[in-house]
Structure 1
Amino acid sequence: MTEVLYRRTAQVFVELADTLVAGFDVIDFLQALAEHAVEIFEVDAAGILLADQRGALMRVAASSQEVRLLELFQLQEEEGPCLDCFRGGAPVMCADLSADPSMWPRFSATAHEIGFSAVHAFPLRLRGQVLGTMGLFNTLAGELPQDTTSVAQALADVATIGILNERTLREQQAVTEQLQYALNSRVVIEQAKGMLAERSKINVGDAFTVLRKYARDHNRTLSSVAHELINNRTGMADLIAAAVKLKATDPS
């Protein structure tokens, strides 16, 4: 790689790092990665596949329509270097698809029809976890230089960190929302307990017992019953009757 390309590579790493801190969008991030890969490594095209929650690869980014078609064919036929890369968790280098056409016969034939003669695939991985692959495609056969493959894998690693970072933030957000919902629900339940205790002349502990039993008997959530009680909706009379009944059976 020339000095100019080294500088451009450094700029790309900075740009990709910036996407991790503001307005992160996985699809836009990976599309930018595919486009940058073509520019940095002077290959003819690049494509990125990403595994879904079930572990099935999906096409998410490509620098050209030709790569989109070839990646789609690869997934449909379940044959090709990017799939082997994902399954093995290691780079797959094919400098000449015609050298051993028996390796991926259908993929190689389609690649030649589209116009590609060489494919190099790199895993998006971190500590044994493989999220997808980045494929670099060339119209002419030939190996990539060693420094190019090293930087390509580093770029794939950065992409992996970005994806995992986004997933972690999303999971943390979901947990935070769940906790906040639980806290809000608890406030409503406390209000409902107090209201039921006051109207039925029982203590708040018994009021909570009545609320919980009513919710279970009617296959409802405790928070939804509490909301209805506060809003004086249907079920209020039943709850008060249950509370009065409880008081009658336990006069203490």
Structure 2
Amino acid sequence: MHHTDRDIRLAAALLEAADTLTECFDTGQYLQRLSDHCVELLSARAAGVMLIDAGRAVSVAGSSHQECLALELLEAQHGGGPCRDSYGSGRPVPPVSIRAAHEDARWPDFTERALAHDIATTYAVPLRRHQTLLGALNVFVPPGNGAAEAGLPLAQVLADATAVGLHNQRAFAQYRSLAGQLQEALSSRVRIEQAKGMLAERWNTTADDAFGTLRRYARGRRMPLDLVARAVVERSVDETELRGESGGASGGPA
């Protein structure tokens, strides 16, 4: 089977879209790369992505080629445009003549700026994973490019791959955050148990009594119990003040 250069570039773009499981992930750069691939593969003048949450644009990114143009045309869609229409319906906005749309008063702010930059046609596809919509990808086509209709399915493939990449990256970040929280909770528990054991041995008392002392000291000074335990382990706490809390009832189990 013969593979064209365009096929290989598309495969590389899809692989890049999937490669999001990294600690140094940058959403802006990632979306710019998607836009760059669209410009290259679809013979567009520029392309951009708008991430939308609860109907509000939360992030925009434009292709590095004609970046200012892409960002301007995305920001001009505050009153309506192909990105918002695609996101609102969850379906692609097929290629639209900018001049015809302007004459019909469709997206007036957007089309006025697009005409000023000699954009002939535009289309947009949703960024979606199953039923979850994340935003939309917008492609801006110069005059003389008759391949806009054929480019729509390819743009949707790139947008779908990007939505999967974004979803996986968010899940990865959540799992890492949860793992960090669980590790910190375990480390805190270990420090508290270590501090209880150290005090019980030094003062010849029970672990429960030592824990009660730690807890009363922490409450009296409005300090996290883990911070007090760390100070005990590191021997940086004033033991005279700490022992002054040992006269009350025992603190009970940890």
Aligned pairs (5 A) from 1:202-241: 202-241=205-244
**1:192 aligned residue (195, 219, 230):** 195
Match of residue 68, structure 1, among 68, 71, 78: 71
Aligned-residue offset at 1:29 = 2.5
- Counterparts of 1:95-134 in structure 2 under 5 Å? 95-101=96-102, 102-134=105-137
**Alignment CA distance shift 1:122-1:210 (3 Å):** same
- Cα distance, 1:78 vs structure 2: 3.6
1:250 maps to what in 2?
Answer: none
Alpha-carbon distance in 2 for matches of 1:71, 1:45: 11
The verdict on how the C-alpha distance between 1:20 and 1:97 changes in structure 2, with shifts beyond 3 A counting, is same
Q: Does 1:30 align with 2:31?
A: yes
TM-score between both structures, scaled by the size of structure 2:
0.82
Query: Which one-letter code corresponds to 2:91 in the other structure?
Result: A
Between 1:175-184 and 1:26-35, the stretch displaced more is 26-35
The answer as to whether partners of 2:119 and 2:140 remain within 8 angstroms in 1 is: yes
Question: Is 2:13–2:37's contact at 8 Å kept on the other side of the alignment?
Answer: yes
What letter corresponds to residue 145 of structure 1 in structure 2?
Answer: E
Q: Is the 8 A contact 1:43 1:137 kept in 2?
A: yes
User: How many percent identity over aligned positions?
Assistant: 33
For normalisation by structure 1, the TM-score amounts to: 0.83
- Conserved in 1, the CA contact under 8 Å of 2:20 and 2:168? yes
Paired amino acid for 2:59: M
**Following TM superposition, by how much is the alpha carbon of 1:243 offset from its aligned partner in structure 2, in angstroms?**
1.5
Distance 2:32 2:212 in 1: 55
CA distance in 2, matches of 1:197, 1:55: 57
| Counterpart AA for 1:244 | G
The match for 1:41 is 42
Q: Size of the alignment, in residue pairs?
A: 242
CA offset digits 1:77-110 (Å, max 9, x no partner): 3422112222332222342122233221111111
Q: Give the distance between the partners of 1:200 and 1:243, measured in 2 at CA.
A: 10
Query: RMSD of aligned C-alpha atoms?
Result: 2.7
**Where does structure 2 lack aligned partners over 5 or more consecutive residues?**
none
What amino acid is the match of 1:170? Answer: A
- Contact 1:95–1:143 (8 Å) recurs in 2: no
Specify the alignment match of 1:138 in structure 2: 141
Q: Does structure 2 retain, via aligned residues, the 8 Å contact 1:192–1:230?
A: yes
Q: Which residue of 2 aligns with 1:151?
A: 154
Structure 2 distance, partners of 1:53, 1:207, is 51
CA distance in 1, matches of 2:120, 2:198: 76
The answer to whether structure 1 residue 164 and structure 2 residue 146 are counterparts is no
Deviation of residue 232 (structure 1)? Answer: 3.4
User: How has the CA–CA distance of structure 1 residues 57 and 230 changed in structure 2, closer, same or farther, with 3 Å as cutoff?
Assistant: closer
